[in-house]
Amino acid sequence: MDNQLKDFSENKNAIPILFISVFIIAGCGILYELLISSMSSYFLGSSILHFSLTIGFFLSAMGLGAYLSRWVKEEDLLWRFIQIELALGIIGGASGIILYGGYAFTQNYYLLAFSMIMIIGALVGIEIPLLTRIVQPHFKLADTLAQVLAYDYLGALVASVVFPLILVPYLGLMRTAFFIGLLNLWVGLFNLWIFRESLYRWQRGMWVGIICAVIYVFGFGFSFIIQDFMEEFLYNDDVILAKQSPYQRIIVTKDDNDLRLYLNGNLQFSSQDEHRYHEPLVHLPLALVRNPENILFLGAGDGLAVRELLKYPSIKSIDLVDLDKMMTDLAQKHPALLQLNEGALNQKMVKIFHQDAYKYLENNSKIYDLIIIDLPDPSEVSLGKLYSKEFYGLVRKRLTPDGAMVTQSASPFFTKKAFWCITNTLREVFPTLLPYTVHVPSFGQWGFNMALPYKMDKELALEKIQNRLFPKDQKQASFKYLNKEIIPTLFRFDEDLKEIPTEINTLNTQKLVQYYEKSWKIYNR
C-alpha cells in the first residue's frame, strides 16, 4: 500500500512523541464522555441517568473499537492511527454544535447523542491498541503495556479534573467541544509532520487536518455567538443574558413585560406570576414566627424572595446561602433583575455566603427564627441530599424553639410521589408539618412544606396566619396574590393530589431522586 511505514524505527523522538500522544488522546476520550453527559443533563435533566448511559455505551464502543483494530495491518499502523486522530478531531469537535442543533431543531436528540457516543467511543477504542502495537517492537510486552496504560490513565485523570474546574466554567460546553476537537487535530497533524518521511501521501492528510483546524479555531472564537443563536430556538422569548457559571447555565429571557430566568434550561420564575410563588413561600411561615429577626435563606439567589422579607421592619439580619456567585452577582447588578427584586441583595442587612447549603448548616452554629429553603428540584443526588432526613435534622438544630422553616417541594401534580416523599421525610424530623400548594401559571401546580419544631394544630396555625397577615384593626396588607379568604384553600389538596405513602429520603437511599425522575419521565415522553 502507499501508506506504509518506511523507517519509523530510525526516528529517535518517535517513542516519546507517541507516549505524549497517548496522554493527550486519553484525556480527550474522557472529555468527550463528560461533554456529552453534561449536554444531555443540561437539555434533559437526570444527570445520573445520562452520565451512566454515556459511560456505559462509550466503554462498550471502545471495546468494539479495540476489537476492530485487529484488522489493521502492521504496515498501516501509524497511518491509520493518524487518520483516526484526524477523524476524532473532526467528529468530536463538531459534537457540541451537532447536539445543540439536534435538541433545538429536531426531535431526535437521543439518536444523535448515542450516535456520537458510539462513533467517538469506537474511534477512541481503536487508538490504544494501535499505539501499543506501534511501540511494542521497541520494548518487552510487559513494559509496553505498563507505559502505554500509565500515560493513558494519567491523561484521563488530568482531563477529569480540568473539565469541571476549568473547561466548563471558563469555556462553556460548545467551546469545550471545539477545544477537544482541536487537541485531537493537533495530535494528528503533529504526528503527521514528525513522521512525514515515513509515510507516503502525507500531504493529503495534512491539508485536511489544517482546513478543519482553521474552521474549528473560528468555531472556538465564535462559539458563544453560535450557542446564543441556537439558544434563541430553545426559548420562546428573546435571550437577553446567557452566562455559564461553574455550576449551571444561566439564561434570562424577555418578551414585552415578561422576564424569565432559566437555570440549566429549567424555568425559575416568570415576572408575570412570580408573586404567586414567592408570597406564599415567604409570608405564610413568617406569620407563625412571633418576633422574626434573623432569617436564613438557602438558595433564592435571584433575590425575589428576599424582596418579600424587606417588607418587615422587625427583621434585623438576612443570611443568604447560594453556591453560585455568578447568580447572586447578576441579582445585584443586572438592571432587569435589580428592577424586579428591588435591589434586595444590596441591602446592608443581607449577607451572602457562597457555600454548599449542607456544609453551611454543618459548620455554622447561628440560630435563626425562620429558615426558607428555595433550592432547585431534586433532579440529581447532589440536590437530593438537600431534601434528606439528615439535612432537615441540621435545619431543625439551627431553628429557635418557636421558629419555622419552609421548603419548596416541587409539583404535587407532575411529581406527586416526590412531593409527598419530601412531606413524609420532614415528618420524621418535625412534630408539626403543614403541606400546601399554589397554582403558578408558568409552572403549573406547585407545592411547599412548612414545618415547626413544636406541636401546633393545623386549624390554629391557619387562624394565626390569617390574623397576622390580615389583622382586623389594620389596613389590608399589600399583596398581589394573597388574601384572607384564600389562605385555607392553599392547604387543601384536590383528590388527585392527595397524600400517598412513600419511603423517606435519606443520604443512603436517595429515594426522592428516584421518585422525581420517574415522575418526569411520564411527562417527557
Residue 422: closest CA among 438, 436, 435, 409: 409
Cα 191 to Cα 82: distance, rounded to the nearest angstrom: 7
What does the block give as the cell for 135? 511501540
Q: Would residue 302 show up in a list of annotated catalytic residues for this protein?
A: no
Residue 111: closest CA among 62, 57, 65, 153: 57
**Planar angle of CA 252, 256, 258, nearest 5 degrees:** 50
Cα 146 to Cα 151: distance, rounded to the nearest angstrom: 9
Residue 181: closest CA among 225, 227, 223, 213: 213
- Give the CA count within 13 Å in the CB-facing half-sphere of 161: 5
**Contact at 8 Å (CB) between 275 and 298?**
no
**Three-class SS of residue 344?**
helix
Query: Cα-Cα-Cα-Cα dihedral of 389, 395, 399, 403, to 10°?
Result: -70
**Three-class SS of residue 346?**
helix
To which H or E segment does residue 258 belong? strand 258-263
**Contact at 8 Å (CB) between 425 and 505?**
yes
128 φ, ψ (degrees, to nearest 5) = -65, -45
Measured distance between the N- and C-terminal CA atoms of the chain, rounded to whole angstroms: 51
Q: Which of 374, 377, 494, 496 is catalytic?
A: 374
Q: Kindly give, in sequence order, each residue whose CB lies less than 8 Å from that of residue 449, ignoring residues fewer than 6 positions away.
A: 406, 407, 409, 422, 423, 426, 433, 434, 435, 436
What does the block give as the cell for 335? 438592571
**Contact at 8 Å (CB) between 466 and 487?**
yes
**Planar angle of CA 111, 205, 13, nearest 5 degrees:** 110
Catalytic (active-site) positions: 374
